[in-house]
Chain A
Amino acid sequence: MVMGELSQETHVAVIGGGPGGYAAAFRAADLGLDVTLVEEEPRCGGTCLLRGCIPSKALLQTAEIIWDAMQADRRGIRFGAPELDVAKLRAWKDGIIDTLASGLHRLANKRNVQIVRARAFFENAHTLRLEGSDITHLTFRHAVIAVGSEPLSPPGVSLKPGGRIMDSTGALAAQDIPSRLLVVGGGYIGLELGCAYAVFGSRVTLIHRTERILGGVDEDLVRPLVKRIHELFESVRLETEVEVLREDADGVTAVLRGPSETREERFDRVLIAVGRAPRSRGLGLEALGIAVDAAGFIQVDAQRRTSVPHIYAVGDVAGHPMLAHKAMREGKVAAEAIAGMPSAYDVQAVPAVVYTDPQIAWAGLTETEARRKNIAVKIARFPWGASGRALTMDAADGLTKILFDPQSGRILGMGIVGRGAETMIAEGVLAIEMGASAEDVALTVHAHPTLSETEGEAAEVFLGSATHLYVPGT
């Protein structure tokens, strides 16, 4: 090997191989640009694939099977108590990750995207210093920062890899099914993993800092989930915070301060899920004068250009919502802007999905936001109790609601709670992006009986023409 400095040139340097990074790299390569992707981990895929969306869905899907089997009794089917082979579940889950990660590397190869395994720092506005690779310097004409985010910890809590106090990464590794699990944080990560572990057999205590779980999500959408977790969890404590967490050989002692009392309790494991923070520090952005806001997000324009115009930022590090699909679109926009195309991130609705059972999904304007910003809306709700399909699925507690511009009937937002919300929300997203009106959705024939019918009927509720719901006064 040649000793000394080995440097390489590239047209586009992408830092980070998660959804934002690989989407940018692949799109840029497809547009004929020379692309080098720098990823510090052995595999691409980022948080989403390696320790986020994909593994959590593998666990949640498994939990759903168990749950459904448990509920089958009322239909006249009796299963024995499920036996869970955690090692086998883990291997199956890891196999999915392997398949997808190697698929990414094959896709990169086919496109001639070079992947360099290294940690990257900006040495100057056109050079990256690489650590951990034979190539020590990468000079570029354009760069895309896609370094993502990482889990936050409450002050005073330290996490050891493999320890009993875990973040989402540790919980998704699924070492064992703890008999008592404390979940700190009632956001979507804590709820998803808490539900999965509860179904797997853990006695779960959920604590949440404020008086409502999933703060910011409309209350009527959260209600069925609140009901479910009260059945599923041993304890749900709101306005409660961790005062002390002490880990020892066979458990964790937690001091939990609630609104009326402070209690000390023992748990086998603790999951910390209090949020995520952008990883904008330690890249050398300050020296380049790349503007970062108070929360650590890199500030970007509609093309995802930073304050240094030939450097772009996409995904979690470039702002909320921290969602893979938002990152992927941003990555494509950045690549197209670099290639000189008149591209812009003008997305009007980024769907959000909470994969609990029941699922919650929403897109566009929410009722909470409309109220906060004083935007006039008309809201039509279609409760799933009126849907034949929902009843056959034991999903009568679901709800579909649509927010309309009162004058034009234009669809501004949609929210769904219930099974299959993850798929159904797509119709709402398309409607919002197309500028569709209540009539457009109402006059579109929805298959009967399906859950998607509830979307057509919600639009009809707005128009006063719903079939399966009688709304007085319309």
Chain B
Amino acid sequence: MAKVFRLPDLGEGIHEGEIVEVLVRSGDPVTEGQPLLIVETDKAAVEIPSPFTGVVQTVHVQAGQVVRVGDPLVTVKEEGEPAEESPAAPAPGRPMEARPPEAPEGLPVPASPATRRLARELGVDLRRVRPSGPGGRVTAEDVRRAAEAAAIPERPAALHGVAPPEAPEPLEEERIPPRAVPPAPSAVSAGAPAFPAERRVPLKSFRRVIARRMAEAWARVPHVSHHDGVDISELERLREELNRKAADPERRLSLTPFLVKAAVAVLKEFPAFNARLDEERQEIVLKADYHIGVAVDSPRGLVVPVLKDADRKSITELAAELRALSQRARSGELSPDDVSGGTFTLTNIGALGGRGFTPIINYPQTAILGAGKARLEPVVTGTLDEHTLTVRLILPVVLAFDHRVVDGADGARFVNRLKALLEDPKVLLVSL
């Protein structure tokens, strides 16, 4: 029987969303869990997975359309049933099979051991590969094609608050074929234009959402960025000691849960940073919850899952939850709930380097805390005449905030307090 898939309840009181992109066409086989569409709500852009396995019969929506919960999105015909609407009349006689049948439920995908190994090496899920072999067999070529398609960053899933990676989006037909001959030794080959002709790449999917959100945040919010360096030498010693004692290398603590915990402690003292400006009613809404969004680098790009109630969780709990969220971010399994509800955001790009940067506020939040790469730096203490030089581990931090809600002095005080907590773990301990 054909089943109609309607926009499900996305939680958090979300009633409608805009279709950003439709990922399937009629006639496409879909498996349960495969993303069908990307829908943008006022909280986040999310992929809507298919609850059925079958063949897409009708797509009821198109990009740009606003849909409400319960609206039909896609009709999926479950396997083994005659199509109600066939796109083209098949020739009489032997029925044309549009696509080889997929592996029946419960059976492993038919593919040779060498193909299965290749799939593991390329990180391809065989169940998601469109098979080209007889009987639905997946060939090595199918796996390579799927891996190539996945490597093209069609939608760097960066969400607001974090600068998305600079990823050009080559069009399918513009993909460079593998070079058959080595390039000519001369620097500029004859006949090649001095500059490549400009290319036009459609803005789509998550990229489009990011573009609009960034512009909105940047246009609406007068940003101030307050920079400083935090001496985390002691904290680092403590962290290393804890990690040495941890038997399980999987349970190692990164710096991020400490930053989250310190930020929460400071937010409690400075509630205006854990707030939202209601422009319509000209009120500042001070949040009672401490839901901290954390930028996570995933193969699809940066995403911002939210650590809910970070004030009520220990550093170890936050670390575990962050690990789970990062895992889901990496496998593309974040739910709408995982990425919504944030009241403040932390972006730690230390793993990639960086001495300083100016993050864009995750609007409508009021502030975002950024951290760069901690480096050993010479630190001079004392007076002009009598001073000592030591080497300390310095973490560059930046607080970007909405100047409509708070002032520069508040920002400086916020960062000073944060420094005090992070520079002396004892102070951090008593503030938890």
Chain A contacts to B: CB under 8 angstroms = 125, 308-310, 342-344, 346, 348, 375, 405, 407-410, 412, 433-435, 437, 439
Q: Closest A-chain residue to B112, C-beta based?
A: A434
Q: Which residues of B contact A412 (CB under 8 A)?
A: 107
Are A348 and B120 in contact, with the CB atoms below 8 A? no
Contact among B107, B120, B248, B250 with A344 in the assembled complex (CB-CB below 8 Å)? B120
User: Could you write out 10 A-B pairs with CB less than 8 Å apart?
Assistant: A308-B248, A343-B117, A408-B104, A410-B110, A434-B112, A435-B109, A435-B111, A435-B133, A435-B137, A437-B135
Are B108 and A407 in contact, with the CB atoms below 8 A? no
Distance in angstroms between the alpha carbons of A104 and B192 in the assembled complex = 61
Are B135 and A348 in contact, with the CB atoms below 8 A? no
Check A407/B112 contact, CB under 8 A, given A125-B247, A435-B137.
no
Q: How far is the CB of A408 from chain B (nearest CB, A)?
A: 4
Count of A-B contacts judged by CB separation below 8 Å: 48
Are A408 and B136 in contact, with the CB atoms below 8 A? yes
Chain B, interface size: which category?
20 to 34
Q: Closest B-chain residue to A344, C-beta based?
A: B120
Q: Which residues of B contact A434 (CB under 8 A)?
A: 110, 112-113
Are B135 and A408 in contact, with the CB atoms below 8 A? yes
Distance in angstroms between the alpha carbons of A348 and B249 in the assembled complex = 32
Check A435/B101 contact, CB under 8 A, given A125-B247, A408-B136, A410-B135.
no
Are A310 and B249 in contact, with the CB atoms below 8 A? yes
**Binary A-proximity of B84-125 (CB < 8 A = 1, otherwise 0):** 000000000000000001001011111111001100110100
Contact among B101, B108, B248, B249 with A408 in the assembled complex (CB-CB below 8 Å)? B101
Check A342/B121 contact, CB under 8 A, given A405-B107, A408-B101.
yes
Known: A346-B113, A433-B113, A435-B112. 4 other contacts (CB 8 A): A408-B104, A408-B135, A434-B110, A435-B137
Check A437/B134 contact, CB under 8 A, given A310-B249, A407-B104, A408-B101.
yes
Q: How far is the CB of B125 from chain A (nearest CB, A)?
A: 13
Q: Which residues of A contact B247 (CB under 8 A)?
A: 125
Check A348/B108 contact, CB under 8 A, given A342-B120, A343-B120.
yes
Distance in angstroms between the alpha carbons of A125 and B367 in the assembled complex = 44
Are A409 and B248 in contact, with the CB atoms below 8 A? no
Q: Closest B-chain residue to A289, C-beta based?
A: B247
Q: Closest A-chain residue to B138, C-beta based?
A: A435
Check A435/B121 contact, CB under 8 A, given A348-B108, A408-B101.
no
Are B121 and A409 in contact, with the CB atoms below 8 A? no
Q: Closest B-chain residue to A310, C-beta based?
A: B249
Q: How far is the CB of A373 from chain B (nearest CB, A)?
A: 9
Q: How far is the CB of A299 from chain B (nearest CB, A)?
A: 16
Q: How far is the CB of B244 from chain A (nearest CB, A)?
A: 13
Q: Closest B-chain residue to A438, C-beta based?
A: B135
Distance in angstroms between the alpha carbons of A346 and B115 in the assembled complex = 12
Q: Which residues of B contact A435 (CB under 8 A)?
A: 109-112, 133, 135, 137-138
Distance in angstroms between the alpha carbons of A433 and B250 in the assembled complex = 34
